[in-house]
Structure 1
Amino acid sequence: MSAPTLTRPRPTAARTRVDTRLPWWALALPTLAFITLLVLILNPADAHATTGEPAITHLVERVQQLLARQP
């Protein structure tokens, strides 16, 4: 005598539908950042550089010094 097998009912289409709508800010913030960077590229006179050596130069020099000291 064989045992009856239980089958799961298929889920309806309404239950498996995924809501893929984005909130308004998920599109607005990257757009605003892109436009801001584009304006800075198009008008570089507004982007003022700092005087003196940048910190990245000091960091690279320090890494080179540390690598040169290793035995």
Structure 2
Amino acid sequence: MTARTQTRTRRAAPDDAVEARLPWWAVVLPALAFAALLLLIAGPGQAEAATGDPAVGRLLGLMVGLLSR
């Protein structure tokens, strides 16, 4: 016995909202890439001078050092 296939498709109405959900890394990775490129442009000396916390400056310097290898 053969089964019938459904050939009709429901078209979306113009007022139907399309919901798109992004995974967490789709937001985090571009933000990290932007921060890394900004650090490469600014240089480690300027990034450390702009921060108030010395730990943040050391972390930024370490990240730049790791990226420059």
When the two structures are superposed, what TM-score results if normalisation uses the length of structure 2? 0.38
Find the structure with the greater CA-based Rg. 1
Question: Which one has more relative contact order, counting CA pairs under 8 Å at least 6 apart?
Answer: 2
